Structures are given as structure tokens and as C-alpha cells.
Amino acid sequence: MEAASEEAASLTAASEEAASEDAASEEAASLEAASELAASEEAAAEEATEEATEEAVVEEAEPPQAVIPTASARAAATTATFLSFIV
């Protein structure tokens, strides 16, 4: 009877140890995944910062664009040009 209870206690201890090791490995995997996620987020943030900086430099380098005349302004200019040929 004693051997059976010792074996049961041994199996229980081995089961608890295996569960503890599984929990530790799951926690390690979770920490590794969190670390990889943080690294990828950091890389994405760094890339976004670089892109924003490049866009700011490009915006500063571009000369201002000419204002496109509205349709009514174009019509008035066309009419004036036409009338100048008649007179």
C-alpha cells in the first residue's frame, strides 16, 4: 500500500513539475512574442518618423505652385483676347 501511495505522490509531483515547466515555457514564449511585437512597433514608429521628416524636407524644397485661374477668370481672359482681335 505504501508503494502505491509513494508512486501516486511521485506521479503527482512529476505532473506538477511538468505543468510548471509548461507554464514557464508558455510565459517565455509570451515574453518573446511581446518583445518581438515591441521591436516591430519601434521599427514602424522609426520608419514613420523618417518618412515624416523626408516629407517635411520635400515640402520645404518645393517652390510654391502657381494659382490655377478659375473658370470665370479663364472665360474673361478668353473673351478679352477675342475682342482684342476684333477691334
Does position 3 have pLDDT exceeding 70, yes or no? no
What's the pTM? Answer: 0.36
| Secondary structure string (H, E, C) spanning 19-77 | HHHHHHHHHHHHHHHHHHHHHHHHHHHHHHHHHHHHHHHHHHHCCCCCCCCCHHHHHHH
69 neighbors 77 (Cβ within 8 angstroms): yes
**Euclidean distance between CA atoms 72 and 82, whole angstroms:** 15
How high is the pLDDT of residue 35? 80
pLDDT digits (tens, 9 = 90+) for 23-79: 777 887 777 877 887 788 888 888 888 887 877 666 667 776 777 768 888 889 999
* Section 14-25 average pLDDT: 68
How high is the pLDDT of residue 7? 60
**Euclidean distance between CA atoms 24 and 45, whole angstroms:** 31
